[in-house]
Structure 1
Amino acid sequence: MEYVIPALPVVALPVAGSKAFFPVHRVYCVGRNYVEHAKEMGFTGREDPFFFFKPNDALVPVAEGETGSMAYPSKTSNLHHEIELVVALGKGGVNLSLEEAAECVWGYAVGLDMTRRDLQGEAKKLGRPWEVGKGFEQSGPIGPIHPRSVTGTLEKNAIWLDVNGERRQTSTLDKLIWNVAESISFLSGLFELKAGDLIFTGTPEGVAAVVKGDVLVGGVDGLGELRVKID
């Protein structure tokens, strides 16, 4: 096939314990999906889940055991960390039942939804989309994909984040307002999900600002650690 401009390469993530890669289609993110984080953002209860996108080339793959780097982004003075369980889909569909949704999960990863909080806050006030706060370059550092065939289904695992050795975020996956299967099922009523889709499932309480030079180390039990330095 001939293109009028050079075609961009496929965005792909390494698979733990394998030389193979996971090709990424879309990147969905679930907002305010932990009880205590919803409270700290001024919400309570079990509102319907809502979603936003990150471009797939905003991902920053970080190999296991290595420290990735993320440039402090432009136009912000309030960059926040959000540690998340990321779900990788091996198949998709529309209007999936909870059972069908659960079977779509191919694997899991640890990810960071880095957020220009000041720009996101201004967009909220004006009723505008969140892309400037959420979808900028390098806004999604992420570790390798761990196959569910190896990890089993993750439901109650601990999730945590340290900044410069100080614990900032800690919770367990059973504190998700909408669990993984529920989020996938609800999302499949809005979009046709496909193999290669990623879903950032939400962050626990404790989000806060980082600055240049900070080292972030986060993880989900069973998935290892994700290490990122802010440059």
Structure 2
Amino acid sequence: MDAEFVQLQINYADWDNPAIQSRGVYEVARKYGKPIVVMEPLKGGLLANPPEQVTNILKDYAPEMSTASWGIRFAANLEGVLVVLSGMSDASQMDDNISYMKDFKGLAADEEACLMKARDELARIPLIPCTTCNYCAKVCPMEIGISGSFTAKNIYTLFNNLERAKLQENWLVKGQGRKQAAECIKCGKCEQVCPQHIKIREELAVIAEEFGQKRQEN
């Protein structure tokens, strides 16, 4: 039976990323006339609260617009998009979404140029491209908090504050009943299911070293 629609991971940061190929899979869906449901338009929250230099580009253009609105409008602006899924955590975020989606207007040419400038600035920062989908967590035999570890590592990269990153890691990993990066046995099951094609084993090894983690003896 033919699919009635396809659900794709699309955001402006990954649109032309050769490893993720968001544009490519979108174009395949359009070729076959399939309506598109967009997931992760804010890349796991990164595009809702991007680094200062990225935020400045967007705010200089439109101070009244939230940084999240740029990501959602980019996805909604694409032809053939039926729904954009937005993970809201409070009423203010819902109100913000409604404010620009109720009477939706597509991106103007100068807005697209601003967004691509922000994307290029973000691409210069060597972040782990995790969207916290947690497919990896479902197959990890060691029950490692992979996405939480990656979030903590990205915080360290963005703000150069190891103590802050460790506090975040403690909450997102230990606080959720998961194990630390140092417990990785390098089986590779996680990498087989990662939509972002992250070299998870390598990244976990770096995190374990930078965060001073030691594998627990049984």
Same fold (TM over 0.5): no
Q: Which has the larger radius of gyration?
A: 2
**TM-score, normalised via structure 1 length:** 0.26
More helix per residue: 1 or 2? 2
Higher strand share: 1
| Structure with more relative contact order (C-alpha pairs < 8 Å, separation 6 or more) | 1
Q: TM-score, normalised by structure 2?
A: 0.27
